[in-house]
Amino acid sequence: MKKAHLVLTLAMFALLTLAVAAFWHNANSQVAALEKASASLCQKDAPGMNFPDLGESVQDCESPAFASFRYENDNLLEENVIENTFSAASGNPAAVYCANVMKYPYKIHKDAGGGERGVCVMPDNEECDQWDFYAGTCGQKFNYCAQNGYKTATRKDDKDSFAMSYAVCLSPRGEEIGLPSELSSLKLAERTPELPPVTESLSGAALANLNTNLPTSFDWRSYNGSNWLSPVKDQASCGGCWAFAAIGVTEAYVNIVNNNPNLDPNLSEQQLISCSGSGNCTGGSTVGALPYISNVGVVDEACMPYTQSNSTCDNKCSDWQSRVTKVEKVVNFTPTPDLIKQSVVTYGPTAVYMGIGSGVGGYFSNAIYRCTNDAAINHAVVIVGYDDVGKYWLVRNSWGSNWNGDGYFKVGYGECAIDTVYAGYAYKPSYETGYVGQSYVDPTMLAGQTQEISLTLKNGGTATWDDNTKLTARNPVSDPDNLDAPHPFCDATWEANCNRIQSAGSVAPGQSKTFNFKIKAPAAPGTYRINFGLVQEGIGWSGAPLNGQVGFEVSVATAHQVFIPNTQRMASADW
């Protein structure tokens, strides 16, 4: 009897072992099938796409299609059959939670100040502010916790990697199960990027022009009593943070260079996503987007509205070429904290990359964002100021004007790779010209007589003079706006005899350049004035001096001469 019982027990144990083995084989088969299918999907979606701010060659495995494929069954998460990795691909986490995780409609509304804020539409048509829904204070019976049989509580501490106010799921006994962002594996894609070469190094001449007398704090939102930033936008679930950062820099640039904080152009992120070749909704490169805006320009939002998707470039308005905004100069550079401070104060808001989310150990501590991993990056933002006392950056995000109260947050110095990996800004070069001196000018000349003169000017601007920066002589009487008009001091072979137009060559800011001219007195007696000034081909060539002029008068066949140096900035009409 005992022997029979032992045999039966062993048989039952064997069957149980086989059942467990079969279960785990089935589970592993699901994992293998899922991985195989997901790899195929990745290859099909975007083989070999390379997005520098996301890192190595990416097979688009963070695309919404791939994410939806991986997020098919909540029960699989609880049964530990697979790890559900739903990636926001640098999208707005609240939008991803609403639209992709919970599958609810997501809308973007304008607030009173012109900013964009997302709302999540509940099954009963209640519209919840996206971050209120994320925090569990609105639409509670429809959130992730409720849909999985849990209670909901709202926490305000440093345990969530996306927001200071967030929801947690509780068991019926009040035990904390976890955060919806963790239970649904909502996270951003973290990768270490291989950045392309910088377009201009902040060293030498460029660095020499940066402000070294910096304030201990600075904020473009309150500079001279005005907010120079355009309203904060919402990228929704599209991973186009790189485009929003580039547009944020550009919109501020327009306000700053026009000395008008109220212009606030609303430019098209969609054009960058669809047309620039710098990326799409699965990630991209601000490094490429800023030069695109400089070379091609970007249209207004009404011309190419934001679709939160990879729409085609053909969707621009018919007259788009007449509606583009450009930045004149772009600098992409490898930053240090001091260089970022100088670029922000001297030129304007500066785009940077950083890490954010649970994958980089992101958390809020005393309202300042920090990371346990300060090397990985997955998000593009705009630094608009800093505070040396608090040791943090003031940062503009693209997760809606209602995120963190106003769409901005503080990031600690040296945290989350924000001040060590990449920075880029746009600016309008200044060609301020300073008068240094000139050689002696004989006040009397006979008709046909020649004399050589020299003029020394100092580059007091922010741009390096080059071969397109040229000193030219002008006749302010006969034809002040025509560089080719005959001047009374020279004959028909003007340029050969007078060296009328001279390229500056390479003259860095703060350096001086001496130009040598030969002048020839005209045949008719009288008092003549000759003016010299700088022009920049392609910028100020047609009758527009870069800055001021210097000049002198010579009397031919008389004894009257007056040298009149003019070191003040003049409008082109004064030439």
Nearest CA-CA partner of 501 in 479, 488, 485, 478: 485
Catalytic residue selected from 379, 459, 498, 547: 379
- What is the token pair recorded at 174? 């009040």
CA atoms within 13 A on the CB side of 36: 6
Strands, E assignment, 45-125 = 106-110, 116-121
- For 188, which DSSP code? P
Neighbours of 479 (CB within 10 A): 14
Residue with tokens 């081909």, as numbered in its chain: 537
Chain mean position to CA 121: 31
Look-up of token digits 């309203």: 231
397 is a catalytic site residue = yes
Rounded distance between C-alpha atoms, residue 199 and residue 332, angstroms: 5
Active site residue 313: no
What is residue 225's DSSP assignment?
A: G
Angle, helices 241-257/286-295, rounded to nearest 10 degrees? 40
Q: Which pair of structure tokens corresponds to residue 18?
A: 């086989």
Kindly list the distances between the CA atom of residue 474 and the CA atoms of 361, 439, 535, in Å, as whole numbers in the listed order: 64, 19, 11
Q: Which two tokens stand for residue 49?
A: 């796409």
Could you list the beta-strand ranges (E) of 318-468.
Answer: 329-333, 350-354, 362-365, 368-371, 379-387, 392-396, 408-412, 423-427, 433-438, 444-445, 450-459
User: Of 397, 402, 404, 475, which is the active-site residue?
Assistant: 397
Please list, in sequence order, all residues whose beta carbon lies within 8 angstroms of the beta carbon of residue 457, skipping any fewer than 6 positions away: 433, 434, 435, 436, 471, 512, 513, 515, 534, 550
**Catalytic residue from among 98, 120, 238, 241:** 241
Is residue 128 flagged as an active site residue? no
Quickly count: other Cβ atoms within 10 Å of residue 574's Cβ.
15
The kind and range of the H/E element at 274 are: helix 269-275
Residues in the chain: 575
Instruction: Give, rounded to a whole angstrom, the gap between the first and last alpha carbons of the chain.
Output: 119
CA dihedral sign of residues 374, 380, 386, 387: negative
Each residue of 242-271: b (16+ CB within 10 Å) or e? bbbbbbbbbbbbbbbbeeebeebbebbbbb
Catalytic residue numbers read: 241, 379, 397
